[in-house]
Amino acid sequence: MLLQPVILSGGSGTRLWPLSREKHPKQLLALIGDETMLQATATRIQDFDGALSVAETLIVVCNEEYRFITAEQLRAIGFHQSTLILEPIGRNTAPALTLAALESIRHNDDAMLLIMPADHVIADVTAFHAAIRSGLPEAMKGAMITFGIVPNRPETGYGYIQVGEIVGDSAVRDLCAFVEKPALSTAQRYLEDGNYLWNSGIFMLRASSWLKAIEHFNPAMFNACTQAMQEAKVDCDFVRINPSAFLKCPSDSIDYAVMEKLSTSPELGLNGRVVPLNAGWSDVGAWDAVWQVSDKDRDGNSVHGQVMMEDSRDCLVISDSRLVTCLGMENAIVIETADAVLVTNKENTQNIKLIVNRLKENKYPQTDNHRKVYRPWGHYDSIDSGEHFQVKRIVVTPGGRLSMQMHHHRAEHWIVVSGTAVVTRGDEILTLTANQSTYIPLGVKHRLENHGTVDLELIEVQSGSYLGEDDIVRFDDIYGRTSN
């Protein structure tokens, strides 16, 4: 039996706007340290030493929208054989786990699944590994393990788990109940009681145990996920599940769908267990939580990027693209990106979603994507625009190849800044180097490629009556895309 890491990489993290966007959510951001949260999650289990060996291949369940950047971030840290199950639409964590369990059974018989959200921080990996080892004996017997965070304050933003008696001579506890986010007075009582832990959303269980439980408690979910996986198409690292089958799947969390119901069906022989975890955990759900887990200077300030602080204390300031200065600030949150700036205080960070909702209602593009947009071939940055023109900085990584395409409403000028561009323009094939350029007339088929070993950088100037990203007609694409 193998220990199979399963990373759940859904969600948008709207409370971390403007860094987190719909198509570039928080798990793809480097909020703490140099690694993104997804990368930190993937490496967290690499050096595990226990009764089970860790599977070489990760299983990642993510939204189809950010499949390429997810795969690229994993490859950048050495995971070249990941299996990415692509959800056409989010259906919460229970269907995501069901898809992962079905995929695991298909390849590894009955593996032990370690289910980790992609957007959590765990500061003490050694303690995390110890907790896994503590729970393995019960999990191997078929028990369904959840990890409960030992609380250090009365927290109203988390759900809680009520634990019961210690199981045997281990640290494992009986699972009594899941409790909703409490009022402050109740949270204080939970802290003093000692039998309530924060709900981490981290689980460990056998694939067969989960499938047995979900088929019993929610057969509609089990059947929809089974059909979606049976009719899936495998494309390199990607498992593209059948969208029409998955759209019929009910939406529910692992907690509600199975874990809190285990005690009602003893005939299943599946016990719910809890392993207490004290490992510097945070779900980094809002900017105040980022400040709490970040390194700080002697004034309590955590700064990232080009930032200057004067007479300011206990602030979080992140600069993504320009100089930010703060004078006489306390408990402030300042987040700067190329196209949006957030200024608030730590007490209001839970309400940032109100701003995001208003931006969506007024159709601001800053809720959807950053100015820099990642593609499987590299990225582009929309550096200027006006009536009937747009300027982009395009970077194509070595081996990158844009689709053969044409536009109905715009022409394009390409000026190479560095690297070597291979350009298909109608029936011509051109090779351009630094300071050389070409013109792509409206309606002409064209393609851009980088055959070199270094990045290709160029400036694109678009002109025309309509400049939207949906004005792309694709004829051939090595990445299997039919739209941008």
Q: What is the DSSP string of 201-223?
A: EEEEEEHHHHHHHHHHH-HHHHH
Angle 135-137-138 (CA atoms, 0-180°, nearest 5)? 70
Alpha carbon distance 463, 316 (integer Å)? 41
Question: Phi-psi bin for 131: left (phi > 0), alpha (psi -120 to 50), beta?
Answer: alpha
Q: Does 484 have pLDDT greater than 60?
A: no
Average of per-residue pLDDT across 370-390: 92
Sign of CA dihedral 214, 215, 217, 222: positive
- What's the pLDDT tens digit per position in 149-199? 999 999 988 999 999 999 977 789 999 999 999 999 999 999 999 999 999
Q: Does 12 have pLDDT greater than 80?
A: no
Alpha carbon distance 453, 461 (integer Å)? 25
Query: What confidence score (pLDDT) does residue 23 get?
Result: 86
Which percentage of the chain shows pLDDT scores above 90? 85
Average of per-residue pLDDT across 124-146: 95
Percentages helix, strand, coil for the chain (3-state, rounded to 5) are 30, 35, 40
Burial of 444 (0-12, 13-18, 19+ CB in 10 A): middle
Q: List Cα–Cα distances, 234 to 23, 81, 223, 434, in angstroms.
A: 23, 13, 20, 39
Which residues are CB-neighbours of 116 under 8 A, at least 6 positions away?
Answer: 5, 6, 7, 8, 41, 44, 45, 202
Q: Does 483 have pLDDT greater than 70?
A: no
Contact 298, 282 (CB under 8 A): no
Alpha carbon distance 5, 60 (integer Å)? 8
The segment(s) of the chain belonging to CATH 3.90.550.10 are 2-282
Question: Containing H/E element for 4?
Answer: strand 2-9
Beta strands in 167-210 (DSSP E): 173-179, 196-206
- Amino acid identity of residue 442, one-letter, is L
CATH of 372-476, one of 3.40.50.800, 3.10.400.10, 2.60.120.10, 3.30.70.20: 2.60.120.10
Query: What confidence score (pLDDT) does residue 481 get?
Result: 77
Average of per-residue pLDDT across 53-61: 94
- What's the pLDDT tens digit per position in 59-92? 999 998 888 899 999 999 999 889 999 999 999 9
Burial of 191 (0-12, 13-18, 19+ CB in 10 A): middle
Using pLDDT thresholds of 50, 70 and 90, give the confidence band for residue 298: very high
Superfamily holding 2-282: Spore Coat Polysaccharide Biosynthesis Protein SpsA; Chain A (3.90.550.10)
Alpha carbon distance 91, 199 (integer Å)? 20
The segment(s) of the chain belonging to CATH 2.60.120.10 are 372-476
Q: Tell me the pLDDT of the chain averaged across its residues.
A: 94
Query: What confidence score (pLDDT) does residue 109 get?
Result: 78
